[in-house]
């Protein structure tokens, strides 16, 4: 973090915490592990990554958010600002073959090793318009296996109603985050080959997030 960006990041975190405390009260179930992990949840709103960071009880600097480089383009002032305050690691979707993915994995590996952060990714790949879960893509599984990180399933409630896709400002509402038990490297290391490991992590992650969603429907956390 540069001296120039530090006040901006701290100011944004202070504002976000005040917003969630006064305007979007958040209930939490479960917790993140102490070691670095890959946190994966459903995705319905731009509030989701902030909700996960606040629910963790950790400083925002403890996280990096994986997001498409072209969505938060560094060429634009808004893109640079968003990248800075949300600690975004860009995923280059325009690179030929697997060059962009290799670059993302290398950047994540360096960041986790140097700073011991948690990574946030949304396996659906985009925000759900209707709130239901979209099919999970294998990127999160591939990343977890490549980085040898535990994967924490999470389910977020209330953010779509508070700030749906297309909205610029949130509406007041109650939110909740549920963290599930991690999928650990020991769970997939014995599988034969990387493709089988990617497939296992992807399907198991989707199953656990769906389980959290079903639990939320039957036992809401005050939302």
Number of domains in the chain: 1
Question: Does residue 45 sit within a domain?
Answer: yes
Give me 21's structure tokens.
């405390």
The helix (H) or strand (E) run that includes residue 186 is helix 185-188
Using DSSP's 3-state secondary structure scheme, residue 69 falls into: coil
Give me 52's structure tokens.
């996960």
Average pLDDT of the chain? 88
More confident position, 181 or 164: 181
Using DSSP's 3-state secondary structure scheme, residue 197 falls into: helix
pTM: 0.90
Portion of the chain with pLDDT greater than 70, in percent: 86
More confident position, 174 or 98: 174
Sheet of 175-179, strand order: 26-29, 175-179, 151-157, 38-41, 118-121, 63-68, 88-91
Sequence-distant (≥ 6) Cβ neighbours of residue 221 within 8 angstroms: 27, 28, 29, 157, 176, 178
Q: How far apart are CA 30 and CA 186, in angstroms?
A: 21
Query: In CATH, what number is assigned to the domain containing residue 145?
Result: 3.40.1130.10
- Residue 162 pLDDT: 95
Q: How far apart are CA 173 and CA 29, in angstroms?
A: 18
Question: Does residue 1 sit within a domain?
Answer: no
CA 17-82-24 angle, to 5 degrees, is: 25
pLDDT tens, 126-150? 777 776 889 999 989 999 999 999 9
Question: Does residue 88 sit within a domain?
Answer: yes
Give me 65's structure tokens.
């958010």
- Residue 96 pLDDT: 47
**What single DSSP character describes residue 171?**
P
Question: Does residue 223 sit within a domain?
Answer: no
Would you say residue 21 has pLDDT above 60? yes
In terms of residue numbers, what domain contains 156? 6-218
């Amino acid at each position: 973090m540069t001296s120039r960006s530090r006040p901006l990041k701290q100011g944004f975190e202070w504002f976000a915490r005040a917003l969630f405390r006064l305007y979007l009260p958040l209930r939490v179930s479960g917790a993140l592990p102490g070691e670095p992990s890959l946190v994966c949840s459903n995705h319905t709103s731009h509030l989701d990554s902030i909700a996960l960071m606040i629910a963790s009880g950790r400083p925002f600097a403890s996280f990096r958010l994986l997001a498409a480089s072209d969505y938060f383009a560094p060429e634009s002032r808004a893109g640079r600002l968003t990248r800075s305050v949300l600690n975004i690691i860009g995923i280059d979707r325009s690179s030929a073959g697997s060059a962009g993915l290799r670059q993302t994995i290398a950047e994540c590996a360096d960041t986790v090793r140097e700073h011991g952060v948690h990574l946030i990714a949304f396996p659906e790949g985009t925000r759900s318009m209707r709130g239901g879960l979209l099919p999970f893509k294998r990127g999160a599984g591939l990343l977890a296996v490549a980085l040898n990180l535990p994967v924490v399933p999470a389910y977020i409630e209330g953010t779509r109603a508070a700030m749906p896709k297309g909205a610029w400002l949130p509406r007041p509402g109650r939110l909740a985050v549920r963290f599930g038990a991690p999928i650990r490297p020991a769970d997939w290391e014995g599988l034969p080959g990387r493709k089988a490991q990617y497939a296992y992590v992807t399907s198991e992650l989707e199953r656990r997030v769906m389980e959290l969603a079903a639990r939320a429907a039957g036992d809401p956390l005050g939302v």
